[in-house]
Amino acid sequence: MSGVLASTYFGHILSTFFISMAPIVELRGGIPWGVAQGLPLWLAFTVSLLGNMVPVPFIMLFLRKVFDWLRRWEKSRDLVEKLERRAHIKGAKVEKYKALGLFVLVAIPLPGTGAWTGALVASVLDIRMKIAIPTIMLGVLAAGLIVLAITGGAVSLM
């Protein structure tokens, strides 16, 4: 973000929110970013949690339709198949352990895990939204608490 908005407190909140919405980065990057922008730990955590959860219902509602649409073209067909293979590989544990597996997949704050991956897996495995969304939310909360503890510890060392 640039300009006046980026230099305001509200701008820092918005940038933290949007960074947390991004795949791969999610709240693992949003919380430290928010704290680095001067937000209190609790606010960076809350804004990042909310931002990370925004894409989840959209992924679950529209992913299959987008995948079907992308399959029309040979170049994007390979990407769709790669993403589906990844979801099935990650989904093997989720299928075995159901909601607990989905929770663990989302709660571990490492690359290749998180809300986006959890929503992708839940969608591909046809896990109902009324089960998947609360489970993903709990996983995001757990991941957020881990990142918050690490970020808070690093801040206290400075």
> Tens digit of pLDDT for each residue in 21-55?
999 999 999 999 999 999 999 999 999 999 999 99
- Count the neighbouring beta carbons within 10 Å of the beta carbon of residue 39: 21
- Count of beta carbons in the 10 Å neighbourhood of residue 44: 29
pLDDT band at 8 (very low <50, low <70, confident <90, very high): very high
Question: Is residue 99 within 8 Å of residue 135, measured between CB atoms?
Answer: yes
Closest C-alpha to 86, from 60, 114, 124: 124
The per-residue pLDDT for range 61-117, each reduced to its tens digit, is: 999 899 999 999 888 999 889 888 888 887 887 888 889 999 999 999 988 899 999
Considering the entire predicted model, what is its pTM? 0.88
Asked whether the predicted pLDDT for residue 2 surpasses 60, the reply is no
Query: pLDDT of 136-147, one tens digit each?
Result: 999 999 999 999
Give residue 96's pLDDT: 84
- Per-residue pLDDT, 1: 46
If you count them, how many residues does the chain have? 158
Residue 17: which pLDDT band, with cuts at 50, 70 and 90? Answer: very high
